[in-house]
Amino acid sequence: MNSLIMATASSKGRLLSLLATAATLLSATAAKAAAPGITGPTFNLNATDAYITQPDGQMVYSWGYGCSSAPTGFAPALNAAGFCSTMQIPGPTLIVTQGQTVTVTLTNNLPAAAGNTSILFPGFTATATGGVNGLLTKEAAPGGTVTYSFVATTPGTRAYYSGTQADLQVEMGLYGAVIVLPSSVPAVCGTLGSTTGLPTTNPGGNAKARAAAGEGEFRLATAAYSHPQACYDREYIFQFSEMDPNIHAQALAQVNAAKALAQPAKDCTPGAAGCSLNVPTEPYRPAYFMINGRSMPDDMDPNYAPQYLHQPYNGNPHMHPGELTLLRIVGQGRWQHPFHEHGNHVRVLARDGNLILSQTDSTKLAGPLLFTTTTTPGMAMDGIFYFTGKGLNWDMYAHNPASNDGQAKLTCTPDANGYNTAVPGVLNYFEWCQDHNKPLEVAPFGDVGGGGPATLPDPALFANGAWYGGSPYMGPNATTRATGCSAGSAAGSCGTTGTTSPSGTIANSPSTEAGYAFMWHSHNEREITTNNVFPGGMLMMMLVDSREFVIDESN
């Protein structure tokens, strides 16, 4: 719980100072992520080619699934700005409900030389009609279609991907995710934030706090599974993958060579002269490492940003202290990806749609707490991340009884679990009351043993980036509250500024967002580069925001 960026070693500080430079590339408005997708249970998908962008300026020739006709709808329900291109990476996230019969019709509009293509839906018993026989399932020939049908028997997050020449087609981008929502959720989940690892005596508190702040409802459901310990407050999906641009370049060259032969598509059968690709997929040397089809810093731009026509999903989670954030994590591509979520471990709820229950008590989940959520290709997991501030040993809300600011004099009444949960609308909702009114050390140098409780890193090494305000306190005016108002300030007023340098950076106006930025990244150092240049790749931020900041998941 106390693995705040503030408490990391100086080597991490040097890493973060480099990230400050990268942060200047980001847009002025911090984009959110949610779990965007299209709703079913009937989907008409297309497989075709296009180019995707990378932060180093490269346009990489790729294949992907997309919509061959307008989808039934977009989810979350409040997200009205969605689009579904004929090709995207990853493919459209298919959102259905447990018990539904799901029908997916795939049209093969890949270049004729690519041959047949298909979709596998691991975890479901799928039947296929139309198309031609393939090794693992029926396939769509060039210009043809095939229809898959399965019953969404169990909830959870799963992968889907090509079952045809997968070493090439998955590498080229033919993969996506399926989210199955539970057909029913425990009654307690209708209002309760969660019961996984957090207090169970606060029904409806987090939902009421969001409502008090005017935040919309962007969850796909109130629980990931039909289990009382699977409730959650926010959710995000992260699909990890990699690309070897040499393979993509060779595929493009061979596709163009086949097109030059002007071979009619109807005469093009796999293996025929000029109608078959022979692209070696070994040795494998990926240079691009992606979250939801984008590399850092592109993954922190908005969902459905027009500059990413074929990469519509981002990877930029936000939360408030005390909320439970559901992470839907899918390993795509060919490599294992060890992803580390700073700020806390992740409590695993399920793998590949299978709840992990106690062997002795089926009412209890028994998934491990993971330091890194490591995924192998095709594996999916659902887990809960949360942060409350418990254990920091200082008041992160900057309460100060001597201040003239009324927000600095808020009370903290502990519930049975020690948190301030009586009034969901207050700024310090879910504060850990044991640290209430506890200041930082008077002289900010040395270590905890020298007078603690906390010493901030050298600012020359620290993450003075777009969101972190340079302050250990939560909220845009918290530093002013902590240090007290200037002489003559009216009671209840301390002005509108207060974060220490460098307040007012690109995305951190001192009057709006000023929270904690936890760096989330791959623990394979190569995977936090883009074409061997750091920072890039599988890297993003979890932004823990003060409740003053309204988290709008619409983008």
Ordered by start, the domain boundaries in the chain are 393-453+469-514
| Residue 472, pLDDT score | 76
What average pLDDT does this structure show over 179-207? 69
| Residue 436, pLDDT score | 93
Q: pLDDT tier at 443 (50, 70, 90 boundaries)?
A: low
Lowest mean pLDDT among 195-199, 336-340, 519-523: 195-199
What average pLDDT does this structure show over 454-464? 47
Residue 245: how many other CB atoms lie within 10 Å: 17
Do residues 319 and 544 lie in contact, with contact meaning Cβ atoms separated by under 8 Å?
A: yes
pLDDT tens sequence across 287-334: 999 999 999 999 999 999 999 999 999 998 999 999 989 999 999 999
Do residues 437 and 395 lie in contact, with contact meaning Cβ atoms separated by under 8 Å?
A: yes
Closest CA to 348 of 371, 318, 331: 371
Which residues fall within 8 angstroms of residue 467, CB to CB, at 6 or more apart? 23, 30, 507, 508, 513, 514, 515, 517, 541, 543
Cα–Cα separations (whole angstroms), residue 215 to 46, 191, 333, 511: 35, 15, 35, 18
Whether the per-residue pLDDT at 510 is higher than 60: the answer is no
| Residue 235, pLDDT score | 94
Cα–Cα distance measured from residue 293 to residue 330, given in angstroms and rounded to the nearest whole number: 12
What average pLDDT does this structure show over 473-490? 68
| H-state helical runs in 413-518 | 478-483
pLDDT tens sequence across 127-176: 999 999 999 999 999 999 999 999 999 999 999 999 999 999 999 999 99
The better pLDDT of the pair 393, 434 is held by: 434
Q: Long-range contacts: 67-70, Cβ < 8 Å, 24+?
A: 67/38, 67/43, 67/92, 68/44, 68/105, 68/107, 68/109, 69/44
| Residue 485, pLDDT score | 59
| Token digits of residue 316 | 């930029």
| Residue 66, pLDDT score | 97
pTM of the model: 0.88
- Asked if the peptide bond before residue 90 counts as cis, ω within 30 degrees of 0, the response is yes
